[in-house]
Amino acid sequence: MHSTPSPYASDAVQPADGYAGDITPALAWAWVQAGEAVLVDVRTDAEREWVGFVPGAQALAWKQWPGMALNGGFDAGIQALGADGKKLVLLCRSGVRSIAAAQRATELGLTAYNILEGFEGNVDTHVHRGQTGGWKLRGLPWRQN
């Protein structure tokens, strides 16, 4: 694994509308390691299976494959994961679905953050992921089946 420097000025929480804020992958991992937060992977089961996953992350899809319909069990699942009052740090492919999931968790009374860049980052000039940011590129722990 190699690591690319973060394009963000610092690992400070960046303000956001409708949820606790946006954070870098590194800050999310630091909070998880310190026991301050629960890492929730909101990607589909298929994405985690085919692309990779973070060991120890809680899997709770925001949308279900195929069809990408909202997961009817999301509310109950996220409430259970946030029941102890810890921060929830939400991870998706690129940091877009996790915003919607963080907003919903916040509506349910939880403290939820979006992890910037997601697991794979944004697409590059060749429309490929994994080269312009993301959990994997930042050298944070992940595995693949």
Mean pLDDT by 10 residues, the chain (145 residues): 52 92 96 97 94 96 88 97 97 92 98 95 69 85 92
- 90 three-class SS: strand
Map out the domains of the chain with their CATH numbers. Answer: 21-115 (3.40.250.10)
Alpha carbon 107 to chain centroid, angstroms: 18
Order of strands across the sheet that contains 58-59:
21-23, 112-115, 87-91, 37-41, 58-59
**pTM for this entry:** 0.88
